[in-house]
Amino acid sequence: MRRFLFHSILFASLFFGVSALIHMAKPFYFENAMFREKINEIPTECPSCNTFFIGSSLTFRHVNPMLFDSLVNSSSGHPISESYNLGSVQVNFLESMYLAEHSMEEKIVPAKSTLFLELRPHTIKDSIFTAKNTFYRDIHDLDLVASHHQNLFDKARVIYSSNAQYLFKYINGGILSTLNKNYVIEQLKQYGIRGFLPYTVSSKSRNKKISIAYDDIDEYNPEHTSIVVKQLKHIQEIAKKHQIRLIYLVPNLFLDESSDWKTHLIHPLQKDSSLQIIDMGQPHRYPRIFSPYQYHDKVHLHEDGANLYTQLLVDAYLEL
Amino acid sequence: MYWFVLSKSHRRQNIFILVASYLFYGLWDYRFLSLIALSTTIDYFVGLRLAKSNDKKHRKFLLSISLIGNLSILGFFKYYNFFVESLAYSFGTMGIRISDFTMDIILPVGISFYTLQTLSYTIDIYRDKIKPTEDFIAFSAFVSFFPQLVAGPIERASNLLPQFLQPREFNYKYAVKGMEMILWGLFMKVVIADSLDATQAYIFFTSKNPTLLSQLVNLPLSTTWLYCDFAGYSLIARGTARLLGFELMRNFAFPFFATSVSDFWKRWHISLTSWLMDYVFRPYLKITSSKNKAVYGLFLVFILCGLWHGARLTFLLWGGLTAIFYIIDRFVQKSIGKHFKPQHWITSIALSVMLWFSTQAFFMLSGYLFRSPSLERMAVLLKSMTNVGTISTIDWKINTIPLIAVFFFFGFEYLHRKRNFGFDLSQNIPRVARWGLYLLISFMIVSYLGQTINFVYFQF
């Protein structure tokens, strides 16, 4: 019995020791190769950037920082903007929140900057990506991290599990990363400007009609609303602490205004004066960016569409 | 405490186990503890009376008390609504409307498992296979033994009860194997089953129009999910029992390496299939003189097996379909054995591969009925199969790691297929390598501990 106990304690010590080493060695964005690439580029490409965009490929492919800056800077009454697109492929809502929170805490987004953070519904499809998420594995993990009243064990479990994942995510992201992902990163390195790489448009594809994907609104679970609201306010608090202007950006999601997500989350949030939201997912308000001729595929705009999107985004931003 | 403070008396250890088991179950819903206590009391006293009685009629009467008592509780909680709804539907088709008598009944966790377990005790005493125990505490601990109370394995009194009646000693090697079982069980559940859960649930329950290809890919994945979820629990139960000095029966014996349907059912959920064989199939053969009694017996067994899983038409049909597959397979295997003797090793291997494939395909296809929540949903899935399409990126998104884990898992299962379980490491492997593997698997388990997904067999 004593031998068994001794070996159990030895094994537990070894296990926690290795975990601690991993925890000390890893950066927060360890599994996101594209985010890592962009962060490495910021000091050389845009050392004095003061506007950042964090989100999925809908941000990465749609927000043109150079155009954004030229339009903002040509208007009067706004501080000079120098922006950088930190959007990355295959990032879902939970990961965007995670990346934004830690980018502010680790001063990748410096004080007195503006941060646009993509806001999307968390759907069952996102749960399929569970193993991909670094910190917030599940929507309820947001609650665990944001709430001060949850039991310590649950919190430790969430944080710890993210640490232990490092080993495997590193293998996954480094050695076994999909060829496509690596290809996009290579393309970004060659042709990207300030983290932005649009889908190029040729004279042939310019007139091509694409059927846009209607976002599956039935899959939004209204039960998650309170958790999401709590997390949005939590991130807002962090932004306030670091003197960062935080703007939530709903991308060009083809959503009905009466959808659960809009009704339960976005509309009430728009009435909340403590949060700033720009909603680009309004086909009736922005019909031009929902034109099937502006798209490269079912969800992504091509270069022309992206420039149009950026223009409309600037208009909405200046109106805030 | 179990080994240090209470080790001098196995009776004290039994009290400890009993309290722990009732606490464990009571934490879920203390009201249903009364059902376990009631089953325990009925069978304890029926068992004692059976041993004292020599009168055949009286013995039959005593056995019927146990059968009616236990099966009534199970029937009420598990099947009441199903029968009332079916009755109302049948009358409805005849134009007679009867008012709805369904009730909002919660299914007590583990009731299907411990009911069969405690029934085996009285039936075995009735058959003079075992002697009843006078130790009420030991018997109560046997019925409610927490590692296997809620999802099996369904133990036999002849195997488990004697272990409660004798002193237990801590054995290092035995405990280490128990820990290996727990580790492997957790790996199966947390890393594999939980990673595959969202995809299979999406196809079976939510997806509006999953393509044929998505569904075909989902077949082996959802079967792996079911196996890892259930067999994972069984291993954790066996490992936990070992740490307390008990040996539970094996519930799974590498079913994915079976090359015939009958072989498959000797390897899958062994505790239930062997229970049905011993207490339903064989007695049925004895009392029936029909020429096709084996066929009828198989139908009876598998339909009961389906109903045991729940009061649902899809389970009933699943049982019937499995029986048909079983009979077809027996026929094919017999014909092959009679008429075809492979002369060359290549033909021999090809035949084995073909038989293996057909066995697994039978199980996966019947799994469609098992997993579909209703016949309507099943119809939707079948209809959407006409949409050949591709593997939609929405339907089927799994990270690389769980897929690698699946290969890693089956690799281990194959390597250890002659041993007790998939991670039954040989003592000849150097300690450094074994500990390295323990660490690797522990890391994987912890890294996938994200969401809480219940074991699927809790619902049965």
Please report the ipTM that was assigned to this predicted complex. Answer: 0.74
Does B95 score more than 90 pLDDT?
no
CB contact under 8 A, B202 and A129: no
Q: How far apart are CA A144 and CA B11, in angstroms?
A: 43
Does B73 score more than 60 pLDDT?
yes
Residue A239 lies in a domain: yes
Query: Quick check: A113 and A245 in contact, CB under 8 A?
Result: yes
- The pLDDT confidence band at residue B390, using thresholds 50, 70 and 90, is low
Domain count, chain B: 2
Q: How far apart are CA A161 and CA A134, in angstroms?
A: 9
Does A237 score more than 60 pLDDT?
yes
Does A2 score more than 50 pLDDT?
yes
Region B314-323 average pLDDT: 91
CB count within 10 Å of CB A255 equals 23
Tell me what percent of the residues of chain B surpass a pLDDT of 90: 41
- Residues of A within 8 A of B439 (CB-CB) are 11, 14-15, 18
Which of B148, B169, B190 is at the close of a domain? B169
- Residues of B within 8 A of A141 (CB-CB) are 450-451
How confident is the model at residue A182, as a pLDDT?
63
- The pLDDT confidence band at residue A140, using thresholds 50, 70 and 90, is low
How confident is the model at residue B138, as a pLDDT?
94
B17-41 pLDDT, tens per residue?
Answer: 999 999 998 888 888 888 899 999 9
Same domain, yes or no: B275 and B320: yes
- The pLDDT confidence band at residue B335, using thresholds 50, 70 and 90, is confident
Same domain, yes or no: B280 and B404: yes
Same domain, yes or no: B113 and B32: yes
Region A76-99 average pLDDT: 85
CATH of the domain at A76: 3.40.50
Interface of B with A (CB under 8 A): 3-4, 170, 172, 175-176, 179, 194-195, 198-199, 202, 206, 394, 397-402, 404, 435, 438-439, 442-444, 446-451
Does B176 score more than 60 pLDDT?
yes
How confident is the model at residue A126, as a pLDDT?
52
Query: Quick check: A49 and A87 in contact, CB under 8 A?
Result: no
Does A98 score more than 90 pLDDT?
no
Same domain, yes or no: B66 and B119: yes
The whole domain housing B344 covers 173-459
Residue B305 lies in a domain: yes
Residue A13 lies in a domain: no
Residue B148 lies in a domain: yes
Residue A303 lies in a domain: yes
Q: Which of B4, B401, B451 sits opposite A168 (nearest CB)?
A: B401
Give the neighbor-by-neighbor strand order of the sheet with A276-279: A83-85, A51-54, A114-118, A245-250, A276-279
Query: Quick check: A175 and A127 in contact, CB under 8 A?
Result: no
Q: How far apart are CA B157 and CA B131, in angstroms?
A: 10
Residue A216 lies in a domain: yes
- Residues of B within 8 A of A57 (CB-CB) are none
Same domain, yes or no: B247 and B374: yes
Q: Does A18 touch chain B (CB under 8 A)?
A: yes
Same domain, yes or no: B147 and B257: no
The whole domain housing A126 covers 29-319
How confident is the model at residue A159, as a pLDDT?
47
Residue B206 lies in a domain: yes
Helix ranges (DSSP H) in B108-165? 111-126, 136-144, 146-149, 157-164
How confident is the model at residue A174, as a pLDDT?
40
Helix ranges (DSSP H) in B277-399? 282-287, 293-309, 313-339, 345-371, 375-384
Q: Does A161 touch chain B (CB under 8 A)?
A: yes
How confident is the model at residue B460, as a pLDDT?
60
Mean pLDDT over all residues of chain A? 78
Q: Cβ contacts of residue B457 below 8 Å, gap of 6+?
A: B151, B152, B229, B230, B233
Does A130 score more than 70 pLDDT?
no
Query: Quick check: A251 and A316 in contact, CB under 8 A?
Result: no
Which of B169, B202, B233 is at the close of a domain? B169
Residue A64 in 3-state DSSP? Answer: coil
CA angle A180, A297, B208 (to 5 degrees): 95
Which tokens go with B95?
Answer: 């134009």
Q: How many distinct helices (H) and strands (E) make up chain A?
A: 14, 5
Q: How far is CA B394 from CA A130, A176, B214, in A?
A: 14, 21, 10
Does B8 score more than 90 pLDDT?
no
Which of B169, B203, B233 is at the close of a domain? B169
Same domain, yes or no: B325 and B237: yes
Same domain, yes or no: B179 and B139: no
Same domain, yes or no: B146 and B48: yes
Nearest CA-CA partner of A26 in A126, A178, A174: A174
Residue predicted with more confidence, B132 or A157: B132
CB contact under 8 A, B176 and A140: no
Residue B315 lies in a domain: yes
B278-307 pLDDT, tens per residue?
Answer: 999 999 988 888 888 888 999 999 999 998
How confident is the model at residue A176, as a pLDDT?
39
How confident is the model at residue A23, as a pLDDT?
65
Residue B449 lies in a domain: yes
Q: Which of A8, A19, A124 sits opposite B202 (nearest CB)?
A: A124
- The pLDDT confidence band at residue A132, using thresholds 50, 70 and 90, is very low
Q: Which of B4, B402, B439 sits opposite A131 (nearest CB)?
A: B402
Which tokens go with B215?
Answer: 């569904």
Domain count, chain A: 1
Residue B14 in 3-state DSSP? Answer: helix
Region B296-324 average pLDDT: 89
- Residues of A within 8 A of B449 (CB-CB) are 157, 161
Same domain, yes or no: B262 and B125: no
Region B356-375 average pLDDT: 86
Query: Does the active-site annotation cover B269?
Result: no
What letter represents residue A299's amino acid? V
Region B148-152 average pLDDT: 84
- Residues of A within 8 A of B443 (CB-CB) are 15, 18-19, 164, 167-168
Same domain, yes or no: B75 and B27: yes
Instruction: Assign 3-state DSSP to chain B and report helix, strand, coil percentages, each to 5.
Output: 70, 0, 30
- Residues of B within 8 A of A125 (CB-CB) are 202, 394, 397
- Gap from A115 CA to chain B (nearest CA, Å): 29
Residue A193 in 3-state DSSP? Answer: strand
Residue A75 lies in a domain: yes
Q: Which of A14, A127, A131 sits opposite B439 (nearest CB)?
A: A14
Q: Does A159 touch chain B (CB under 8 A)?
A: no
Nearest CA in chain A to B199: A128
CB contact under 8 A, A138 and B450: yes
CA contacts within 13 A on the Cβ side of B57: 0
Residue A21 lies in a domain: no
Mean pLDDT over all residues of chain B? 85
Does B347 score more than 90 pLDDT?
no
Same domain, yes or no: B158 and B181: no
CA contacts within 13 A on the Cβ side of A271: 6
Q: From the candidates B309, B339, B344, B416, which is the catalytic residue?
A: B309
Q: Does A4 touch chain B (CB under 8 A)?
A: yes
Residue A3 lies in a domain: no
CB count within 10 Å of CB B103 equals 9
Region B254-261 average pLDDT: 91
Q: Which of B33-47, B97-111, B167-181 has the lowest mean pLDDT?
A: B97-111
Region B39-45 average pLDDT: 93
